[in-house]
Structure 1
Amino acid sequence: MRILVVNPNTTASMTAMIAKAAQAIAGAGTEIVAATSGMGPASIEGYYDEAFALPGLLLEISKAERAGADAAVIACFDDTGLDAARAMATIPILGICEAALSTASFIAKRFTVVTTMERSRVPIEELAWRYGMAGRARIRAADIPVLSLEDANSGARDRLRSEIALAIAEDKAEAIVLGCAGMADLAQTLQREFAMPVIDGVGAAVKQAEALVSLGLTTSKRGAYATPVPKAYAGALAEFAPA
């Protein structure tokens, strides 16, 4: 099967890291196709950035579905554009926050999401409520700019570790969820270091996408996702594409 993993920000180096993490967890017969949005913000840290990321994200998913992708993963923990993408596409669309929280719920009674900035914490709290996890999930912000995760000298990874330690001590967390796609390459290291489950949403979403495709399940076109995209909208998406 072929799974699109799309980074809705424009930072190609982050896409490369996410793609590597996704391919490492994918099954032997799964091809990971990674894409970077061609327009929008360099990082997504809250509601304002999400709004600008949406056209490029939808364009990449539309192109991938036409090219034969069996499912798509939106690699942003805000689940940027998830409902819009599901309304547009017929293939399964996975958000990494929803995938990570559902995975955590299988193995822990209570767990903590450690995300980047405070302005990212509030949208994730709202997602936890939407997904029925508000009573089980605590959300913490480590005050880490997303792009600082790529800089080994920024101290971002040390702040992440400190926040995880606080989650264990203060929240009595039984598992940790990494609240940013830019942390995807840290899950296994942190799991060994803290001797507890550490869940990366990219990996969780890839495995759930594989399951949906194997089961022959696609996005329902009844109810919320029933309305097809008018041709005028589909044409407008193409017009957003960079020359």
Structure 2
Amino acid sequence: MKETHILVINPNTTASMTDKIAVAARTAAGPACRITAINPRHGPAAIQGPDDGAAALPGLYALFDHTLENDNSISAVVIACFDDTGLFELKARSPVPVIGIGEAAYHVASVAALKFSVVTTLPVSVPVLEENLRLLGLAARCARVRASDVPVLELENPESDARHRIEQEIEKALEEDGSGAIALGCAGMADLAADLTAKFRVPVIDGVASAVRLVKAVLD
């Protein structure tokens, strides 16, 4: 039986975020699945809104094409940006399944609860996520996409109050939106999901783990 090998691409250039994503992916995948996590060497350090997303595409596409052309062991690809940067283009031309972490989180959240909210980083990302929800047919299941006013790279700074601001926005979502689940709207939040689920006693969903688990289900 062929080994399951999932390629996880972080479309930004921040290696510390890629390392965090790799840990979340490997935890979700389990020991029988191989995870390779990579990022481009050129492009934006963080993807915050449509301009950064567009700037990331050349590096993402080049890395995707080069890696798949040179490694025929890859079973599937996860695009580890919650904006699902380049996702629909890559789905259309990939020889293997491709899933985005935003896409995966929305699907898992819609199974976990009748209504869910998304807590993301900056307001500039909100329209991108709302459009993706519409394209995926899940906009009606999402009560609201909320910005926590946390720049992406603050999630890499242990001295930041980013977690506190995310928790405040989750509290507002649960009080105001009538949501039964929260999707964390950034790959850099992957390490927070378990603790936040325990704290708020609702499913707080990380898109990286969701994408890996859904890919495994599709391949099975």
Pairwise CA distance, 1:184 = 0.6
Q: 1:212-236: CA deviations, max 9, x gaps?
A: 222xxxxxxxxxxxxxxxxxxxxxx
Amino acid at match of 2:39: T
Contact 1:77–1:179 (Cα < 8 Å) also in 2: yes
Does the Cα contact within 8 Å between 1:65 and 1:91 map onto a contact in 2? no
- The structure 1 residue matched to 2:28, chosen from 22, 25, 30, is 25
Tell me, in whole angstroms, the C-alpha distance in 2 between the residues paired with 1:38 and 1:65.
17
One of 124, 143, 150 as aligned partner of 2:129: 124
Q: Structure 1 stretches (4+) deviating beyond 4 angstroms?
A: none
Q: CA RMSD in A?
A: 1.0
The answer to whether 1:208 aligns with 2:208 is: no
Greater alpha carbon shift after TM alignment, 63-72 vs 202-211: 63-72
TM-score, with normalisation over the residues of structure 1? Answer: 0.86
Q: Which amino acid aligns with 2:49?
A: G
SS in 2 for 1:73: strand
What amino acid does structure 1 have at the position aligned with 2:145?
Answer: I
Q: Structure 2 length as normaliser, TM-score?
A: 0.94
Are 2:40 and 1:37 aligned? yes
Question: Counterpart of 1:164 in structure 2: which amino acid?
Answer: I
| Aligned residue in 1 for 2:147 | 141
Task: Tell me how far 1:210 sits from its aligned partner.
Answer: 1.1
2:8, 2:62 → 1: CA distance? 13
Give 2:5's match in structure 1, choosing from 2, 5, 17: 2
Task: Report the Cα distance in structure 2 between the residues aligned to 1:79 and 1:36, rounded to whole angstroms.
Answer: 14
1:65 is aligned, of 44, 62, 68, to 68
d(CA) in 2 for partners of 1:204 and 1:64? 23
d(CA) in 2 for partners of 1:212, 1:63: 24
Aligned to 1:15: 18
Amino acid at match of 1:133: L
**CA–CA separation in structure 2 for the residues paired with 1:159 and 1:50:** 24
Q: For 1:8 and 1:78, how far apart are their aligned partners in 2?
A: 10
Give the Å deviation of 1:84: 1.6
* 1:155-198 per-position Cα deviation (integer Å, ceiling 9, x unaligned): 11100000000000001110010000010111001001111101
The farther-off stretch of 4-13 and 56-65 is: 56-65
One-letter amino acid matched to 2:51: Y
Which one of the candidate residues 146, 149, 157 is aligned to 1:151? 157
Opposite residue 197 of structure 2, the aligned amino acid is Q
Gaps of 5+ in 2: none
- Number of aligned pairs? 214
Aligned match of 2:120 = 115
Give, in angstroms, the shift of residue 128 of structure 1.
1.2
Question: What per-residue deviation string (whole Å, max 9, x for no partner) do you get for residues 139-160 of structure 1?
Answer: 0000000000111222111000
Seq. identity, %: 49
